[in-house]
Structure 1
Amino acid sequence: MNKKKLSYEEQIQHLKSKGISFDAMSETDALAYLKSNNNFFKLKSYRKLFNKDKNKDRYVHLEFAYLVDLAIIDTRLRRIIVEMALNIEHFTKVALIGRITECPEDDGYKIVKEYLRSLDPTQRKILKGELQKSLNSPYCKDLYSHYEGNMPIWVFTELLSFGSYIYFYLFCAKHFRDKAMKEHAFIMKKVKTIRNAAAHNNCILNCLKSKTNPHDPSVLLVNALKDSGFSRDIRRSKLKNETTEQILSCFYAHKLLVTSSGVNKHMARELNEFKNRLTRGFTYEDNLLIKSTWNLFERVIDSWYPLS
């Protein structure tokens, strides 16, 4: 059965019936916000971060203004993640192409041909279809047309999606017998997943409560958290949440793989501004989940991205 479409006034009343209060932001201001700044369905998703009363009917210590605050913080985080992912993709390509450039046994075409031969027929067909989409792009169609059927690595990597590039990167890691590159590929898969969510403007921080991460975290991330002074209990607890693990993977992968000091200084400024925004509106003293997660982000940023 379809749910009833609610008017803006009915949306306010629905939130009130669930225990959400309008003390920090008035109902009038909330109504204006829903009309102009965010939609009801997206905004109310952050309610999952708060506890309900013993009857499981109404939320406790939940202000409408908290939902607004979390939506703003989430938006800023998504922008940072997309920027970081673009940097990670770019600088790992620079390093990979540089390695091939300095390899006398490879002319830049050989590694691509070997990769294509390693794929089964279905994989090759899927990859060919992905590359052919370049013909629909005013930015890539000439590049694809010129090199179709015989691409050097510097063209091939330009035309691949981030996901396909990571598989190629992993192939190169095995080709070079480079264990570090294999670990980099693993953590980049985490970055790709959170990047995709951020690029599609999906809410991210509304998923912090889950403790059912089906994937193992990167060893690189676990060791980095350990080196930064996080206890075993904190590491275990926070990495059980898939969203938290992927956010931290993105933060650490950028620190690890982006080699430009200028880019890293810029990202340090962005992250420290984000850190300061976390508790600028509210401290969330009544919400241990949010408070502990904010504390985790703050400590990680201080450790990995200090302002010089």
Structure 2
Amino acid sequence: MKKKLTIDEQIEDLKKKGVTFEIMSEEEAKKFLRYNNYYFKLKSYAKNYPINPKNGKYVNLEFAYLVELSKLDMYLRKIILGMCLDVEHILKTRMLYDLSRNEKEDGYNIVKKYFWAYPNTKIEILQKADSYNFTSDLAEKHSLDEEYSVWNLVELLSFGKFVELYTLYYQEYNLSNYSDYLQSIKFLRNAAAHSNCLMSSIMKPKGEKKFRKTIKLTNALSKAQKEISLHARSKYMSYPAFHDFVALLFVYNDLLKEAANRNMRDKTMDELYHFFCEKGGRVLKCKEYFEKNQVIAEAYRFISGVIQYIKGQNSNPKHKWYLKI
């Protein structure tokens, strides 16, 4: 069992591992660990730095670098979560619109098929009716109904459950859809919502052994030849977090392409472009911290390349879609 450490002991532990305190003093670091972030989470960003095999210490790792990575991660999670919520809302709106125009579907039939395929979901909805949550009133109102309508059901489902319903509906009627990319968005949404560290495993990607990249997404990104090298596309599309972020970017920009949503799309992409690509943006604010770290520098060039590609395509009147569905 690992020993519990006080903040003073945490600082000493970092020093033993080669972390320096030249930009941020030890006293400033102690305040940060007390009021801003905790040791286990902050230390996870050190995975992006090599360890000297001779002495077991990190190479060129300053405490301020870990702090900056944690801040960038926090800002990025907020942007990602907002994008995921927009995607969820538009997907529900589009599905209900498509269903309203589908003469073969009455809005109840698809729910019967969904509950048959996923019987535990109905049990979970009934449990919501008896618990305190934001949808408990709606769940209670329809708990005695023998049949649920799809327009009520979508309000009671988590995003993961909605993805099941969405996939089932569009497969049932053989309609074009974004099902191939929604698991990626779900994983990213959950990570952002639960404050998981997105930038803590660039060198050793989390979940890489269990992950399968989406070939159609990789092919779609191949059009960004000017912005991203073949080597970078091949490498980073094999990393779950990068792959899923690209999926979110492409689906988001496709879904919000219509005139009714275009202002919201452009505002978000302007925010991302400023965040990653502009000198006054948050990522480049302390770029000197990471210039010697090839792992972080290469990952940054890949993501900034994707955003620049999207920014350029969105302003191209001949551009249609990022993904063929």
* TM-score, with length taken from structure 2: 0.86
Shift of 1:110: 2.1
Q: Match for residue 210 of structure 1?
A: 204
Shift of 1:59: 0.6
Q: Match for residue 128 of structure 1?
A: 122
CA contact (8 A) 1:100 1:108 kept: yes
Q: 2:264 & 2:300 partners in 1: Cα distance? A: 24
Q: 1:13 & 1:192 partners in 2: Cα distance? A: 39
1:143-167 per-position Cα deviation (integer Å, ceiling 9, x unaligned) = 2233333222111111111111111
Q: 2:113 & 2:9 partners in 1: Cα distance? A: 61
CA contact (8 A) 1:213 1:241 kept: no
Output the amino acid matched with 2:138. Answer: L
CA contact (8 A) 2:48 2:203 kept: yes
Q: Match for residue 149 of structure 2?
A: 152
Shift of 1:207: 1.6
Q: Match for residue 283 of structure 2?
A: 278
CA contact (8 A) 2:47 2:204 kept: no
- 2:245 is aligned, of 244, 247, 265, to 247
Q: 2:43 & 2:232 partners in 1: Cα distance? A: 28
Shift of 1:13: 1.4
SS state at 1:207 partner:
coil
- 1:235 is aligned, of 218, 229, 233, to 233
Shifted more, 266-275 versus 130-139: the winner is 130-139
Structure 1 304/244 Cα, relative in aligned 2: closer, same or farther at 3 Å?
same
CA contact (8 A) 1:78 1:201 kept: yes
Shift of 1:78: 1.1
Gaps of 5+ in 1: none
Q: Match for residue 200 of structure 1?
A: 194
Shift of 1:46: 0.5
1:80-136 per-position Cα deviation (integer Å, ceiling 9, x unaligned) = 12111111111011111000111123222222223333x2xxx30x11122124322
SS state at 1:157 partner:
helix
Q: 2:180 & 2:272 partners in 1: Cα distance? A: 23
- 2:298 is aligned, of 281, 292, 298, to 292
Output the amino acid matched with 2:253. Answer: K
Q: 2:60 & 2:160 partners in 1: Cα distance? A: 41
**Structure with the higher fraction of residues in helix conformation:** 1
**Root-mean-square deviation over aligned CA pairs:** 1.9
- 1:223 is aligned, of 219, 225, 239, to 219
- Pairs within 5 Å for 1:25-64: 25-55=24-54, 57-64=56-63
Q: Match for residue 174 of structure 1?
A: 171
Shift of 1:8: 1.6
Q: Match for residue 307 of structure 2?
A: 301
SS state at 1:59 partner:
coil
SS state at 1:104 partner:
coil
CA contact (8 A) 1:92 1:258 kept: no
CA contact (8 A) 1:51 1:59 kept: yes
CA contact (8 A) 2:126 2:140 kept: no
Q: Match for residue 20 of structure 2?
A: 21
Pair 1:12-2:11 in alignment: yes
CA contact (8 A) 1:42 1:203 kept: yes
Q: 1:294 & 1:30 partners in 2: Cα distance? A: 26
CA contact (8 A) 2:96 2:151 kept: yes
Q: 2:55 & 2:199 partners in 1: Cα distance? A: 22
* TM-score, with length taken from structure 1: 0.90
Q: 1:175 & 1:205 partners in 2: Cα distance? A: 38
SS state at 2:286 partner:
coil
CA contact (8 A) 1:190 1:249 kept: yes
Structure 1 159/17 Cα, relative in aligned 2: closer, same or farther at 3 Å?
same
SS state at 1:217 partner:
coil
Shift of 1:74: 0.6
| Structure 1 ranges of 4+ moved more than 4 A | none
Identity of aligned residues (%): 31
Structure 1 208/56 Cα, relative in aligned 2: closer, same or farther at 3 Å?
farther
1:175-220 per-position Cα deviation (integer Å, ceiling 9, x unaligned) = 1213x41xx1121101111211111111111021225353222234
Shifted more, 84-93 versus 215-224: the winner is 215-224
Q: Match for residue 270 of structure 2?
A: 269
Q: Match for residue 319 of structure 2?
A: none
Q: Match for residue 322 of structure 2?
A: none
Q: 2:154 & 2:73 partners in 1: Cα distance? A: 31
Shift of 1:235: 1.6
